[in-house]
């Protein structure tokens, strides 16, 4: 067990591989060339690193024609990588000094769900309105919440039947508080994007709140969206 743990830790801890894994947190699939550019290494070097990650089931690959696309193997890998960032001391995170970092700190994707300050605001509002409740390390939807989510277009029973965590806590590395991950977190982000309350910024993990989204989040969750501090 100790040897296996050390192997995984060394694979993730390598500077070049950690950059590529962080880049893959937006849930998209990338070619070795794209990941090589992100890590500032040669394509051959990137392929060697990716082979090791595939062998350890940290990254998966899919072939389409002549191209090979790489992505994180599963949600658990994404959760480990994002959680590791929470170990960075507070004084080392200087998001307020960089405009791009400020936007990511406010709203971004964490694999397939919403993260950042806005995700904490949404989670807190859902808890305050008794739409969800916290039980141990997971969130549960109340009877009132089932109806609320149904009106939003999310079938809670269907989500619970999926072969994945339903709604576990995910520690937000910029806020140091928990937001909603799992099937419910994924479904919420998907619905927000579908309804055009939010939009993904191209080639970035940043999420943009639309004018419609500001109105709907105020009406549905009593949230006054103000990202001027980020």
Q: Is 213 exposed, middle or buried (0-12, 13-18, 19+ CB in 10 A)?
A: buried
Give the chain's residues under pLDDT 70.
90-97, 226-230
Topology of domain 2-73, CATH: Arc Repressor Mutant, subunit A (1.10.10)
In the chain, where the domains are located: 2-73, 78-221
Q: What is the pLDDT of residues 147-189, one digit of tens each?
A: 999 999 999 999 999 888 999 999 888 888 999 999 999 999 9
Phi/psi at 68 (5° precision): -120, 130
- Look at residue 96 in the predicted model and tell me its pLDDT: 54
Quote the pLDDT of residue 80: 86
Global pTM exceeds 0.75: yes
Helix H or strand E segment including 170: strand 169-171
Mean pLDDT over each residue of the chain, to the nearest integer: 89
pLDDT of residue 26: 82
d(CA 147, CA 132): 12
Q: Distance between CA atoms of 113 and 164, rounded to whole angstroms? A: 14
Structure tokens at 19: 């950059």
Residues 6+ apart with CB under 8 A from 124: none
């Amino acid at each position: 067990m100790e040897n296996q743990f050390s192997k995984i830790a060394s694979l993730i801890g390598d500077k070049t591989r950690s950059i590529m894994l962080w880049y893959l947190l937006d849930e998209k699939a990338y070619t070795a060339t794209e990941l090589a550019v992100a890590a500032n290494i040669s394509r051959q070097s990137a392929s060697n690193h990716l082979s090791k990650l595939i062998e350890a089931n940290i990254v998966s690959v899919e072939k389409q024609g002549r191209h090979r696309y790489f992505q994180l193997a599963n949600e658990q890998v994404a959760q480990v990588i994002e959680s590791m960032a929470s170990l960075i001391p507070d004084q080392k995170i200087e998001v307020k000094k960089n405009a791009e970092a400020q936007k990511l700190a406010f709203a971004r994707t964490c694999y397939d769900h919403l993260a950042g300050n806005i995700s904490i605001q949404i989670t807190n509002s859902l808890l305050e309105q008794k739409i969800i409740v916290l039980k141990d390390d997971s969130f549960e939807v109340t009877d009132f919440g089932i109806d609320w989510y149904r009106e939003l277009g999310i079938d809670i029973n269907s989500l619970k039947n999926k072969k994945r965590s339903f709604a576990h806590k995910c520690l937000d590395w910029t806020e140091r508080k928990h937001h909603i991950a799992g099937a419910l977190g994924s479904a919420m982000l998907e619905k927000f994007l579908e309804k055009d309350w939010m939009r993904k910024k191209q080639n970035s993990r940043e999420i943009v709140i639309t004018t419609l989204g500001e109105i709907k989040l105020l009406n549905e969750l009593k949230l006054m969206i103000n990202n001027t501090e980020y």
